[in-house]
Chain A
């Protein structure tokens, strides 16, 4: 019983981070209808930004997370302007394979720039844990979780309260009507894409204290991120939060029941079933 509660707690901690790294993916789809297969590569870039901020400037990854957000935000705006913008009206096959091409380019550019080795940071809190009776919470997990919650809250305020956020949601709901109200849809798309990949990079930075980074780290996250957003309903930001927590918990519970290699297997099978039964997500299309 204790083991189950512990697994639930671990799952919740990891799930919070999954939510933040996946919100970007769902945001981009919601606003512009593009499924970005390269999203996990921006997570990798966020991790590398945080790593070099630590190695060169001595910054803690948690403090470097906004920096990772900013760097990848700018990169995302450039990628949107050079590529994504041009396939918005193209057939789906072009959209999918453009982002697949981007995935290949980013992964291999990283391989050339950073080398193929695994890199990790050293922090003072890396191995410490809080004890709550028989349960314990690992400090780096808790820190990543709290940073994710804070980031999610800021995003929520931005989308709900600011003019810009409202304009973005309007573009997602009805592009034509938004245009007629004087909203520059290209600017909205660019911002949504940059924001989306920036959020994922932020998530990458906060998980760096308990993970190692390499140019291929994105591969572990591709299907995982899609599972999160499809569970919650592609395009729904609130859904991504629910999906993230669900995936975190499914992962840690199945870690209790099955050998470690099977952990992702359970996740993928859940993913295929959700796609087959409720492709619109568990929460439906509600936004």
Chain B
């Protein structure tokens, strides 16, 4: 694609993204779904730094997400600290947690890394459930209501949340793209293509991957704070959930196109509305149908093209050009 066309498309997409909420009911369901699309796209993008660039399949990103959600909310509940300030220690804690778990596990590849991170997510869930004095335990924690406004990160309708989520997605995407085109990004790519060769030409493979993991973990924690302020209530089983967070963010990136800049956005635009639609359509039927559809979609996409929807689209485009 020519650069000029690329920038024109990005500008168009941004214009649409900014315009859309003004055409929708500000307290409506559609705006709420779009907020979730943006939030999950940002989360999948944060995962993409480790899962896509460093090629380390994390199944434990809920750990950092939950740390961020609990970090800012506990500071708010116990000390009345604004979530905007709480965001920073939350992100720091997320980064430190990512560093701690990466130290022993980053040497592991493929399945082994996936397993270790899966267990780490579960450890955090159990800790949050057990340490009730700090987290409120299994009964969850609520964000106390105050007079809505930007300063307290609380709003009456969905529109401000939409723009904050959009800003978050843009920041995370910019960081992803920045890393991808930086020295760090080239090192990560070298490691992905051939770890031994990368090591031989002097790339400190473990250290490079740990840097990626720390950035990813810190961003994920920041998004946890956004989630907490958006939902007002959560418990350990929600924010540290394997299927609802860890697997879902990985899945969004993979279905869209793992390791690409717009893959997570495409994946979230595709998966989150389908899931919500399925929930709506089948809500009077037995529970589980929408999740069943979700799982089947994942299987179909992986069997059809493990590189995701972007690659399927690219193939269709080429095929159309030929005939």
Contacts and interface: CB of A to CB of B under 8 A. Distances in A.
B108 interface: yes
A101 B57 CA distance: 15
A87 interface: yes
A101 B295 contact: yes
A108 B291 contact: yes
Contacts of A160: none
A261 to B, nearest CB: 5
B298 interface: yes
Contacts of B127: 265
B291 A104 contact: yes
Interface in B41-76: 51, 57, 59
B306 interface: yes
B232 to A, nearest CB: 26
A104 B294 contact: yes
B106 to A, nearest CB: 10
A136 to B, nearest CB: 30
Interface stretch (B117-125, B141-149, B218-226): B117-125
A105 B292 contact: yes
A276 B103 CA distance: 9
B80 interface: no
B5 interface: no
Contacts of A271: 115-116, 119
A272 B102 CA distance: 11
A93 B254 contact: yes
A78 to B, nearest CB: 14
Nearest to A34: B111
B291 A96 contact: no
B130 to A, nearest CB: 5
Interface in A77-136: 83, 86-87, 90-94, 96-98, 100-105, 107-109, 111-112, 115-116
Contacts of B251: 97, 100
A98 B303 contact: yes
Nearest to A260: B130
B250 interface: yes
Contacts of B214: none
A53 B106 CA distance: 46
Main secondary structure of the interface of B (DSSP, over half): helix
A255 interface: no
Contacts of B108: 275-276, 279
A35 B302 CA distance: 16
B114 A96 contact: yes
A164 interface: no
A276 B116 contact: yes
Interface in B93-143: 101, 104-105, 107-108, 110-112, 114-116, 118-120, 122-123, 126-127, 129-130
B170 to A, nearest CB: 26
A269 B123 CA distance: 7
A83 B123 contact: no
Interface in B230-269: 242-243, 247, 250-251, 254, 258
Contacts of A138: none
Nearest to A259: B130
A223 B112 contact: no
A135 to B, nearest CB: 30
B286 A97 contact: no
Contact of A93 (B123, B295, B306): B306
A262 interface: yes
B115 A265 contact: no
Contacts of A102: 295, 299
Contact of A262 (B118, B126, B288, B289): B126
Contacts of A276: 104-105, 107-108, 116
B147 to A, nearest CB: 38
B10 interface: no
Of all A-B residue pairs in the complex, the 10 with the closest CB atoms, nearest first, are A104-B295, A276-B104, A111-B288, A101-B298, A94-B306, A105-B295, A108-B288, A108-B292, A101-B299, A35-B111
Interface of B: 51, 57, 59, 101, 104-105, 107-108, 110-112, 114-116, 118-120, 122-123, 126-127, 129-130, 242-243, 247, 250-251, 254, 258, 286-289, 291-292, 294-296, 298-299, 302-303, 306
Interface of A: 35, 83, 86-87, 90-94, 96-98, 100-105, 107-109, 111-112, 115-116, 215, 219, 222-223, 226-227, 230, 234, 259, 261-262, 264-265, 268-269, 271-273, 275-277, 279
